[in-house]
Amino acid sequence: MQTVTVAIADADLGRRNKLEQILQGEQGIEVLTNVLSNGSSVTSNDQPRLHAGMVEVEDIIARIGHLRPRILFIHLDPSNEANFALLEALHREYPETFVVLLTDKSIHEEHVIQALANGARGCLSHEADPFHFLKAVRVVDRGEIWVTRRMLGKIMDKVLH
Amino acid sequence: MILLASSSQDDLYRWERGVHSLAPVFCSTNLDSVRDELVRLKPQILLLDHDLPRLDGPEGIAGLMKLNPETRFVVLSRTISDEIEWGLFRTGVRGCCKSDIEPEQLKAVVGAVQQGELWIRRSLSWRLLNELVVMTREKNQIKRAVGELLANLTRREYEIATLVGNGESNKQIARRLAITERTVKAHLTEVFRKLDVADRLKLALIVKGSVSPNDTTQTGR
């Protein structure tokens, strides 16, 4: 089984560590740390900060360019417009990195659709069962998407009308 | 009400077993009956056999949809290609599954579609997301192009263009901006030239389409 490389971009250390633990125990999944171009490894506190403003989108894209994860979990913060710009840039510059959104209960469906429209390939609640995170990695890695049927219904309405 | 449509009695029987607990069920065995019942019963769901004689594929299904746009279509088929199946969803079908689906599974399909969900194979669903991405990208490109055009307007010209977009007449604009109507017309002539449009309607469409209500970034020069 080919190893799937995964990176996590979430400013919340507790959530990030919890997801890392779920993923690291699984055979065939490698969770990446932030390896800089000079080859040194840094701690997980240096994971891409995705709650930065527009100016740092380019910096974050560059870091993803170094890491080149197959799957990138990103916490979606719809109050930060830079998130959507980042998704669009990632989809354009690194289409081989598949983004899966991490959301909390307060997220509006329209924001999720906007993020999917900007190139994300899936969406999961932070509270999802660990099994679903592992399955989402496998499903998205083989080119499919991880989106609820309800969300697909809303997307189809948007596409057709 | 759920309308079942198939020329196969076996299929109708099996489908009815699956969905009878969800809503009252009515069966049609030919296309003419389906047309009549769509209009008469206005069912919430139509389970439609893809092999129903004279159905004529996506075009025929699109025609049926017009008879009652509120009805959600679920198409059941023996074996169809991914392309044909995707074509059905592009027509507006809300679910596709095999004709010989187990009753309990069919119940789950119909239940999901009743809730507004889309019953589509995961291996096809990426096409939907791709369409959304392409559509969004094209929209954004148009918005950017229009934004660039509008950026060529002076501040006053942009102001007047926005007011035209809000449906105001030259007289109203003149009064609002404390200038003469003649001056408004002169500015508009220049706006039309810069944006290469011939009339107020096209101008209004451009302005309305390019700017969201809270967007204050367009300032002109």
- Please name which of B74, B61, B70, B59 lies closest in space to residue B11, comparing C-alpha atoms: B74
**Ordered alpha helix ranges (H), B152-219:** 155-165, 170-177, 181-195, 200-210
How many domains in chain A? 1
A30 to chain B, minimum CA–CA distance in Å?
Answer: 25
Q: Which of B92, B117, B122 sits opposite A139 (nearest CB)?
A: B122
**Is B215 within the bounds of a domain?**
no
A20 lies in which domain range? 4-160
| Residue in chain B nearest A148 by alpha carbon | B117
**Is B220 within the bounds of a domain?**
no
Answer yes or no: do B9 and B84 share one domain.
Answer: yes
Answer yes or no: do B46 and B67 share one domain.
Answer: yes
Answer yes or no: do B33 and B116 share one domain.
Answer: yes
pTM for this predicted structure: 0.78
Contact B117 A121 (CB under 8 A): no
State which of B91, B120, B149 marks the end of a domain. Answer: B120
Q: Are strands A98-103 and B45-49 parallel, antiparallel or unpaired?
A: unpaired
ipTM of the prediction: 0.80
What are A67-121's pLDDT values in tens digits?
899 999 998 887 777 888 889 889 999 999 999 999 988 889 999 999 999 999 9
State which of B104, B120, B136 marks the end of a domain. Answer: B120
B62 lies in which domain range? 2-120
Contact list in A for residue B112 (CB cut-off 8 A) is: 149
pLDDT of residue B213: 43
Which of A80-94, B12-26, B98-112 has the least mean pLDDT?
A80-94
CATH code of residue B168: 3.40.50.2300
Burial (0-12, 13-18, 19+ Cβ within 10 Å), A117: buried
Torsion of CA B83, B89, B91, B94, to 10 degrees: 160
**Is B219 within the bounds of a domain?**
no
Q: Which of B90, B92, B128 sits opposite A152 (nearest CB)?
A: B128
Chain A residues whose C-beta sits inside 8 Å of any chain B C-beta:
88, 91, 113, 116-119, 121, 139, 143-145, 147-150, 152-156, 158-160
How many domains in chain B? 2
**Is B76 within the bounds of a domain?**
yes
Answer yes or no: do B152 and B180 share one domain.
Answer: yes
Q: Confirm or reject contact between B128 and chain A (CB < 8 A).
A: yes
Of all residues in chain B, the percent with pLDDT exceeding 70 is 95
Other CB atoms within 10 Å distance of the CB of residue A22: 19
Answer yes or no: do B197 and B141 share one domain.
Answer: yes
Write out the H or E segment, with its range, that includes residue A13. helix A13-24
- Please name which of A46, A14, A4 lies closest in space to residue A126, comparing C-alpha atoms: A14
Q: Confirm or reject contact between B72 and chain A (CB < 8 A).
A: no
Answer yes or no: do B159 and B63 share one domain.
Answer: no
Q: Confirm or reject contact between B119 and chain A (CB < 8 A).
A: yes
Better-scored residue on pLDDT, B207 or B71? B71
Q: Which of B92, B120, B133 sits opposite A152 (nearest CB)?
A: B120
Q: Which residue type occupies A140?
A: V
Neighbouring residues of B161: CB distance < 8 A, sequence distance ≥ 6: B150, B153, B191, B195, B203, B207
The DSSP line for B76-114 is: EESS--HHHHHHHHHHT--EEEETT--HHHHHHHHHHHH
Q: Which of A117, A139, A156 sits opposite B136 (nearest CB)?
A: A117
Find tokens 């170094």 and name the residue: A66
Answer yes or no: do B89 and B182 share one domain.
Answer: no
**Is B96 within the bounds of a domain?**
yes
In this predicted structure, the answer to whether residue B98 has a pLDDT above a threshold of 50 is yes
The DSSP line for B108-139 is: HHHHHHHTT--B--HHHHHHHHHHHHHHHHHH
pLDDT of residue A150: 94
